[in-house]
Structure 1
Amino acid sequence: MPYMISARSLPEDRRMDTPWTDRAGRFSWIRTIAFAGALAPALWLAWLWMSGGLGPRRLEEAIHFTGLWTIRLLLITLAITPLRRLGLPRLVIARRMLGLATLFYVLAHLLLYGLDTGSIGKTVSEILARWYLLVGFVALSGLVVLGVTSTDSAIRRLGRNWQRLHRIVYVIAVLGLLHFFMQSKIDVTEPVLMAGLFVLMMAARGAQAAKLPLASPVVWAGIAVLSGLATAGLEAGWYAVATNAPASAVLAANLQFDYSIRPSWYVFGVGVALALVAGGRWLRQGRRLSPAG
């Protein structure tokens, strides 16, 4: 039998970093699922492109598709930190992969837009002439910076400054969501939902900064209520500014379920689900700590 070197016996910088193994070279379900989940939208887009499923304006549809998945993957990446506080600390091993997947989709978004305009000069002039494109390009540039500095060598070189630099991801998320809002024009249902989920995650980080226990279902219940109300207010404020619609009418629509369920309720539901998860963990821990019999 030929001599084989175990990945665990190799120096860290010589180990093969694959999407389905951890840093020790062992198979990881978390990284495998994250890789498959990040790759699936790209494969689906390729299938729609080849099968004609994108319709006659396939470039425009592909641009919207990659932009939407950029926002989704960015929020999923940001969600890892709060979820770690709910007893899922191993999720952190997929964070870099998801961040790089976000960068891949935003670069594809820009490339497709460049193909749609037809030339680099036209692309640059369009970005400089339209505010929502300029905002999106600034967010894209920030993601490129984070992607370039996500390697192990960059982390070692930057030291403590690396963490300070990567905090701009919150600014990038805000700019990306603003770009999403401005590009969507009238119907901002999905941008409001994405913004509400971002508010939910930032509320969780705020609770952690305030030394509140994120393992508590009561804390998560409060986060759910506040995030749901903030999402409703955000939707009302956007429509009031963009379309002059009465904010009171938009807020009232959040309490009516005749036509659709508004994003604020989905955000509230996600918060309640996380509160239930926290409650389940709390009950299990209480049973383990209670005396037998």
Structure 2
Amino acid sequence: MPALPAFSAPWRDRAGRLSGLKLSVFLFALAPGLWLAGAYAGDALGAKPITALLHGTGEWAVRFLLLSLAVTPLRRIANFPKLILVRRMLGLTVLAYALIHLALYVVDQNFVLTKVVSEIVTRFYLTIGFVALFGLVVLGVTSTDGMIRRLGKAWPRLHKAVYTIAVLGLVHYFLQAKIDVSDPVFWTGGFLLLMGWRALQRLRWPINPLTLLGLAVAVALVTAGLEAAWYGFASGIPAERVLQANLAFPSMIRPAWWVLALGLILPAVNAARLAWDRSNTRTDPKTRPAQPRSRQAMAAR
């Protein structure tokens, strides 16, 4: 009988050594769930604790999904290759919170599975949420080393579905929020930042602090327009009023400003990395350009 593969703790690297980065991300992934569980145990979630848990786990699933999509941009902008070590962990964290989200919905419906199925089929926002969850399950099942080898070249194509899943998750978030969509707007702005970076890569634009600054400003403006369009479509509020609310600063900080603040992290990190690289180039003799030989040395030779 073949030996079973040894269990690998999520805080260890492939060599079995403790990874501070993986341990930190693992604890961070657990923290929201532990906080929600503690709040539930302490009766601190209001009159409808299951509903609060349902919303909380769904929101964290979206947040961790966007964090997983941020790994590649941050890894390249900050020149921090080790970030790739936590991408799979973040992806599985998304799946875990999404599955708990569904389980809590079943609890909220008093375990009446026929009603759960009926609601998912007949309510559009639940339908797209379930489709997104199904996609996450597929990606989770195929995220193992064995499945990566088995799928070969098809694996990257399959896992590009994560972008569609993210869009579905954000639409589900918008529709579920109904009245106040500040959080969905903010996280959609974050998603647009990540997609904007990928667009720059595809177009082969130079990635430097200036282009990243332009990206941050452009996405913030798009976010403001998206919020205005949503309120205009969903509630009939004139788009001009919503756009003007973005200027009621600082009494009311709209999501577009927070997206701008988030986006400004990218050029700041990139500038810091470039400064660090230049500093290392000056101080490390191995990276200095070769100095031309003096005339005396050439003559002696």
The two structures have a TM-score, normalised by structure 1, of 0.92
TM-score between both structures, scaled by the size of structure 2:
0.89
Q: Select the residue among 10, 14, 25 that pairs with 1:19.
A: 10
| 8 Å CA contact 1:16, 1:25 repeated in 2 | no
Counterpart check, 1:254 vs 2:267: no
Q: Distance in 1 between matches of 2:278 and 2:216?
A: 24
State the Cα RMSD in Å: 1.5
Whether the 8 Å CA contact 2:186–2:258 is kept in 1: the answer is yes
* Equivalent in the alignment of 1:198: 191
Q: In 1, distance between residues paired with 2:280 and 2:66?
A: 34
Pairing 1:89–2:89 present: no
**2-structure distance, mates of 1:252, 1:282:** 37
Q: Work out whether residues 245 and 252 of structure 2, in 8 Å CA contact, stay in contact via their aligned partners in 1.
A: no
Residue 14 of structure 1 deviates from its aligned partner by: 4.3
Deviation at 1:202, TM superposition (A): 0.5
Q: Secondary structure at the match of 1:85?
A: helix
* From 36, 40, 48, the counterpart of 2:39: 48
- Deviation per CA, 1:186-241, whole angstroms, max 9, x where unpaired? 10000000000000010011111111233x11121111111111111111111111
CA shift, 1:280, in A, is 1.5
Question: Contact (CA 8 Å) 2:22, 2:85: kept in 1 or not?
Answer: yes
**Ranges of 4+ aligned residues in structure 1 off by more than 6 Å:** none
> Superposition pairs for residues 26-45 of structure 1, below 5 Å?
26-45=17-36
The equivalences for 1:67-216 within 5 A come to 67-86=58-77, 87-118=79-110, 119-214=112-207, 216=208
1:214-270 deviations in Å (ceiling 9; x for gaps): 3x1112111111111111111111111101111121111112115321111111111
- Once residues 78 and 99 of structure 1 are traced to their aligned partners in structure 2, the CA distance between those partners, rounded to angstroms, is 9
Is 1:280 the equivalent of 2:272?
yes
Rg larger in 1 or in 2?
2
Contact 1:63 1:112 (C-alpha < 8 Å) held by counterparts: yes
Gaps spanning 5+ residues in structure 1: where? Answer: 1-12
For 2:250 and 2:278, locate their aligned partners in 1 and report how far apart those are by CA, in whole Å.
Answer: 42
Report the equivalent of 2:295: none
1:267 matched to 2:233: no
Report how many residues are paired. 279
Counterpart residue type for residue 210 of structure 1: L
Q: Distance in 2 between matches of 1:287 and 1:35?
A: 33
Question: Once the two structures are aligned, what percentage of the paired residues are identical?
Answer: 49
SS where residue 15 of structure 2 aligns?
Answer: coil
Q: Deviations over 1:20-53 (max 9, x none)?
A: 1111111111110110000111111111111101
Q: CA deviation at 1:288?
A: 3.4
Cα deviation for residue 145 of structure 1 reads: 0.6
For 1:61 and 1:287, the matched residues in 2 are separated by: 49
Could you give the per-residue CA deviations for residues 96-131 of structure 1, whole angstroms, max 9, x where no partner exists?
011001000000000000011121111001111111
Shift of 1:271: 1.5
Confirm whether residue 59 of structure 1 aligns to residue 36 of structure 2: no
Distance (Å, rounded) in 2 between the aligned partners of 1:288 and 1:153: 40
Take 1:165 and 1:136, find their aligned partners in 2: how far apart are those partners? 19
| Structure 1 Cα separation of the partners of residues 187 and 20 of structure 2 | 27
CA distance in 2, matches of 1:213, 1:95: 25
- Helix, strand or coil for the counterpart of 2:16? coil
Query: Aligned partner of 2:11: which letter?
Result: W
With 231-240 and 250-259 compared, the bigger mean Cα shift is at 250-259
Contact 1:70 1:102 in 2 (8 A): yes
- Which blocks of at least 5 consecutive residues in structure 2 are unaligned? 283-287, 290-301
